[in-house]
Amino acid sequence: NAGVTQTPKFRVLKTGQSMTLLCAQDMNHEYMYWYRQDPGMGLRLIHYSVGEGTTAKGEVPDGYNVSRLKKQNFLLGLESAAPSQTSVYFCASSRGYQETQYFGPGTRLLVL
């Protein structure tokens, strides 16, 4: 099993550009999450999904959109990137809300 995979691994955007980050999991998990990691702030939840076709806002959802059209995939979109969105983005999945979350390797995003 590959676990949780993320693409791309690294991306540079100009302000105003858009992009989509892809997360895929092969563990048949119901729950999926997107976090951002910034120095000294730990991980902050952007959006999450409790099952196929559902999404919900986390702690810092502004400027991001998500979709969960298939159970194994969770997409994070930036419609108009801003320098404040420079960060490392992590996807995670879990069997249920009480279960351990398993993380992908991360995507480094630099917005100029």
Partner 1 sequence: AQSVAQPEDQVNVAEGNPLTVKCTYSVSGNPYLFWYVQYPNRGLQFLLKYITGDNLVKGSYGFEAEFNKSQTSFHLKKPSALVSDSALYFCAVRDGGGNKLVFGAGTILRVKS
Q: State which residue, 17 or 73, has the beta carbon closest to partner 1.
A: 73
Tell me: does residue 59 bind partner 1 (CB under 8 A).
yes
Strand partners, 47: 34, 57
Binder among 12, 27, 56, 82 for partner 1 (CB under 8 A):
56
Binder among 21, 25, 29, 31 for partner 1 (CB under 8 A):
31
Binder among 64, 85, 90, 93 for partner 1 (CB under 8 A):
90
CB of residue 58 to partner 1, shortest distance in Å: 7
Q: Is 96 left (phi over 0), alpha (psi -120 to 50) or beta?
A: beta
Q: What is the DSSP letter of 62?
A: T
Coil, helix or strand at residue 85: helix
Which amino acid is located at 31 in the chain?
A: Y
